[in-house]
Amino acid sequence: MLGTMRRLWQTVRPIRFRLYLGLLSAMTASIVALMIPQVLEFIVNRLGSDATAATLWTGGAIVLALGLVEASLIWLRRTFAVAPSTTVEKQIRVHFYEKVQNLPVSFHDGWGSGQLLSRMMSDINQIRRWIAFGMIMAVTNVVTISVGMVLLIRSSAILALIFFLAAVPVTIIAYRFNRSFSVLSRLSQDQNGDLATTIEQSVQGIRVLKAFGRGPSALEGFTEQAEELRRTEVRKATAIARFDMFMFMLPELALGVALLVGLHLTASGQISTGQLASYFATATLVVGPVRMLGMLLGQAVNATTALDRHYEVMDTANTITSPAHARPIDRAAATGAVRLEGVHFRYEDAPEHVPDVIDGVDLEIRPGETMALVGVTGSGKSTLLQLVPRLYDVTGGRITIDGVDIRDMDLLDLRALTAVAFEDATLFSDSVRDNVLLGADPSLSAEQAEELLHLALRTADATFTYDLPEGVDTRIGEEGMSLSGGQRQRLALARSIAAKPAVLLLDDPLSALDTKTEETVTGRLREVLAGTTTLIVAHRTSTVALADRVALLEGGRVVAVGTHAELMENSARYRWVIAHQAEERRRDQDIETLTGELELRAIQEEGR
C-alpha cells in the first residue's frame, strides 16, 4: 500500500501546494474545534465561584468565533482540494486513454473491454475521492487524535489512560480489517469489470441473442455474475459493519468507564468540574476521528486497489513503438512498393510446439499493383495483412515500404502511408461524414474534403448515405448497427479510400455484398486504385479478378504467385482452394440467410 501511495504522491505533484493548503486548513479547523472544550472548562470553573454575565457572554462569544473560524477553514479545505483533484482526475484519465490507444493490438486481444472501462471510470473516480477527501482527512484525523490525547492528559492523566487503552484493540482490529478488506475490494472491482464486459458484449450481440433465442440463457449467466458480485459486496459490507461496531463500541465503553472514574475523582477533589467537562467535550471530538478510521481505512484500501488496477495497465510494456531516430518519410513521394523478406510471426501465447502463423514469407508487391492473398481458413492471410501497418510486429524477417524497414518509420508516418478495411467493419457513433473522413488529410479545405467524401462514397457504392434523414451528417448509431452489414462494410471501405494511402490493405472488404453490388464496387475500385499499391485478402473469384497477381498461402507460406489465369492453369492446389472457397461462401450465405430469418422472426414475435 505504501509503495502505491508513494506513486500517487508523485502523480499529484502539480497540485501539492494546493493540497498542502487544504491540509493546513483542515488541521487548523480541527485544532480550533479542540479549543472549544478548553473555553468550556474556563466557564464551568467560574460558574461555582465569581461568575458574572460578562464572563458568560465573553465565553459564548469566543465559542461562537471559534465555530465561525472552523466553518471558514472547512470551506477553504474544500476549495483548495476539490477543484485541483478533479484536474488530476482528468489528467489521469487522459493518460490512461492515451496509454490504451498506444498499446498494441495483442494487449487488447487479452483484455475485456469492460475491465478497461471499469478502470477508466470507476477506479479513477475512487482515486479522485481519495485525493480530494480521504488523504487530507486521514492526516487531519491523526493530528486531531494526537492533539486531543495531549489535551485529555492535561485534563486528567488517569482518564486519558482509560481512553488510550481502548485504542490498543482498535489498532489491532484495524490492521486485521485492512488485510481482509483489501482482498475483498480487489475481488469486487474485478467482478465489476467482468460484469461490465458481459453487459457490453450482450448489447453488441443483441441481434444474435434474439435471433437464436438465447436471451434467457444470457440472462441466466448475467444473473449468476451479478449474484457473485452481490455476495462479494455483502462480505465487504459485513466486514465494514463489524469494524464499525468495534469503532463505536470501544470508545463508548472507554467513555462510560471514564465517567464513573471521573465522577469519583471530582468528588474526591482530584480534578475540577471544569476539567471533567473539558475532558468529555474533548473526548467527544476525538471519538469522531476514531470512528472515521473505519471509513477512511476502507477508502484507503479501495483507492489502493483502484491504483493497483490502474498501474497494472499503465505499467504494461508497449512492444510496438516508434524508433528513437525515425527515418523521415515523404508521403507525397511514396510509391508504395512493399517487400516482405523472410517474414515470420507467432502470437506471444502460442505453445512452443505450434509452428509460426507466418512461417517465412517472401513476397514483393510492385508500386500501383493489386495483389490478392488467397488461402484456406487459418493460412495466415489476415495476420499477414496486419503486419504491414504494425498492428502486430514481425517476429522474424522484415517488411519494407519503398525500401525502408517499417520498424524504422515513425508509427504515425507508417499509418499515414497505409489504410486498412477489415472484413468486420467497425464504425463509430458519429456522422457518416466523420466516419468516412476519419483518416483523411486534416489539412484539406472544406471543398476538397467534400470532393473526397463524394469520391469515396461513390467508389464504395455508399451513396445511399445521401438519402439518410440528415444525409452524410446523419449519426449512424453505436458501431453503425442502424445500418445493414453490407452498408457498414461499404462505409468502412469508403473510409480506407478517403485516406488516399500509398498502400491499401483490404481484408475481404466485399464479403457482405451481393454479386451485383460487388461487381459495381470492383469496377470502381479498379479505376480509383490505379496508382495505389493494394494487398487484398480474397475469398471470392470476383474479388480475385480485381488483382493483377495472386499469392497463394499455405500453412503460413507463399507457395505460388502469378495471375489468376496462370495459377488456375498451373496449380492444382490453387484450383482446389478457389473451388473450396466458393463452396464455403455458399454455406456462409445460407447461414446468413437463416440468421436473418431467425432475427426477423424473433423481432416479429417480440412485437406481438
Tens digits of per-residue pLDDT, 492-504?
A: 888 888 888 899 8
Query: Mean pLDDT across the stretch 417-431?
Result: 83
Query: Mean pLDDT across the stretch 395-400?
Result: 94
pLDDT above 70 (res 211): no
pLDDT above 80 (res 477): no
pLDDT above 80 (res 464): yes
pLDDT of residue 586: 57
Query: Mean pLDDT across the stretch 399-416?
Result: 92
pLDDT: which is higher, 406 or 283:
406
pLDDT of residue 585: 58
Angle between helices 53-102 and 273-314 (to 10 degrees): 10
Helices (H), 268-389: 273-314, 381-387
pLDDT of residue 596: 54
pLDDT of residue 608: 47
Query: Mean pLDDT across the stretch 377-397?
Result: 91
pTM of the model as a whole: 0.76
For residues 427 and 479, the answer to whether their CB atoms sit within 8 Å is yes
Angle between helices 273-314 and 215-267 (to 10 degrees): 150
pLDDT of residue 181: 78
- Enumerate the β-bridge partners of residue 359: 344
Tens digits of per-residue pLDDT, 74-121?
A: 899 888 888 888 889 889 999 998 998 888 888 888 887 778 888 888
Q: Give CA torsion, residues 147, 153, 159, 162, to 10 deg.
A: 60
pLDDT band at 454 (very low <50, low <70, confident <90, very high): very high
Chain centre to alpha carbon of residue 592: 33
Tens digits of per-residue pLDDT, 349-359?
A: 788 888 889 99
In single-letter form, the type of residue at position 604 comes to: Q
Provide CB contacts within 8 A for 518, sequence distance 6+: 510, 540, 542, 543
Query: Mean pLDDT across the stretch 272-289?
Result: 83
| Structural domains in the chain, sorted by start | 2-314 (1.20.1560.10), 333-571 (3.40.50.300)
User: Percentage of the chain surpassing pLDDT 70?
Assistant: 90
Q: Cβ–Cβ contacts within 10 Å for residue 167, how many?
A: 17
pLDDT above 50 (res 38): yes
- What is the dihedral sign for C-alpha 295, 301, 304, 308? negative
Query: Mean pLDDT across the stretch 517-537?
Result: 80
For residues 574 and 560, the answer to whether their CB atoms sit within 8 Å is yes
Tens digits of per-residue pLDDT, 126-147?
A: 888 888 888 888 888 888 888 8
Provide CB contacts within 8 A for 365, sequence distance 6+: 336, 337, 338, 339, 371, 533, 535
pLDDT above 90 (res 384): yes
